[in-house]
Amino acid sequence: MTHRTQVAIVGAGPAGLILGQLLHNAGIDSVIVERHTRDHVVERVRAGVLEQGTVDLMHEMGVGDRLAREGLRHDGIYIAFGGERHRIDLAGLTAGRAITVYGQNEVVRDLIAARERSGRPLVFEATGASVHDIDSTHPTVRYRLAGDEHEIASDFIAGCDGSHGICRLAMPSPVVHPYEREYPFAWLGILARAAPSCPELVYSLHEHGFALFSMRSTGVTRLYLQCEPDEDLQRWPDDRIWGELTTRLRTNDGWQPAVGEITQKSITPMRSVVVDPMQWGRLLLAGDAAHIVPPTGAKGLNLAAADVWRLAGAIGEFYGTGSEVGLRTYTERGLRRTWRAQRFSWWMTSTLHRSASANPFDHKRQLAELDYLVHSQAAMTSLAENYAGVPFA
């Protein structure tokens, strides 16, 4: 069975769904295919910090109503070290730009609902997908659904299927240059039924390593602590997790995270990846298919949103005027933003984590870096601009 469309989108994560909504609003047809089940896509726990630009985009797309009601706007964040919390005034340092805490699974839930209202195709459990003829003007996507073979004939393929998806691998290996870095630590993350004990995020450097206090709602706390890349979750019963989180996060004013029932535990590896170029022929990569950033800077979902905003504009320009300028410059513009996000994420990661190879000098240098940060208007402004996010371009 063959389906004809203008844009075939592989992957129904935030990148693919946002792109589908942007194209729909522009009157451009698309088909989204996803190998996982709908429940898997909705329920997987990922990022929860939205930059100002991503929040604005959700509203512009017409899918921001629940975000406005339930999202938690934060005008600042805390940096903790030496037993003290220091607030960085994001909004005050960036003329009102802030972040909003709203889980990625909630973003996906809203986007799936919008996709279904649009009536445009969204296919889950599409197995054995492959892309073909990407260097022609009529690339195709083939997949199986319930035992039947399907083909999507399109003008463009958007690869939004993650770092292990089929689209990145379909690009000719001699022309693709992946830049990668593995970090010597990981995050042990938990969700807990506990009311947040601080109104804003707390990033902490402690002698035992990094810890992060965050939240998902007024009744659910999200917390992370630095651990080994090959950490065994069985070695981390609830009591040990709370003990370590309390040790790393407690400050001299008596603040510490509220303890509650842990409902989920996971290990998140830390790595950086940049794929150059982000396109080949009529195949264009977006989101995790094009880049991975360590979660410290909260850039993953936001980079994906910027990618597909740029891609939707380029495709709209092509159909509206016939111009391919936006398509030809997609990689150049995308890599500029990606490398800036990588630089910021690397800086936050290296400044707030303790490496096993570090010595006392390295720890003292980190403390001096943070002391400079919280006492320098210029340094705080730089962090605020990067964390809240510069406008999409």
Q: Which tokens belong to 158?
A: 């958007």
Catalytic residue list contains 295: yes
Catalytic residue list contains 74: yes
Please state the length of the chain: 393
d(CA 124, CA 139): 21
Burial of 247 (0-12, 13-18, 19+ CB in 10 A): middle
- Quote the crossing angle between the two packed helices 330-352 and 300-321, to the nearest 10°: 170
Catalytic residue list contains 102: no
Query: What's the half-sphere exposure (Cβ side, CA atoms, 13 Å) at 128?
Result: 10
Catalytic residue among 203, 206, 224, 291: 203
Catalytic residue among 24, 150, 206, 299: 299
DSSP 161: S
DSSP 296: G
Angle at alpha carbon of residue 294, lines to 293 and 297, rounded to 5°: 95
Catalytic residue among 183, 224, 295, 330: 295
Give the residue from 111, 151, 156 showing the smallest Cα distance to 285.
Answer: 156
Angle at alpha carbon of residue 327, lines to 112 and 313, rounded to 5°: 45
Lookup result for tokens 């720890």: 363
Catalytic residue list contains 387: yes
Residue type present at position 380: M
Pairing between strand 127-132 and 140-145?
antiparallel
Catalytic residue among 24, 74, 291, 353: 74
Catalytic residue among 78, 102, 183, 387: 387
Write out the catalytic residue numbers: 74, 203, 295, 299, 387
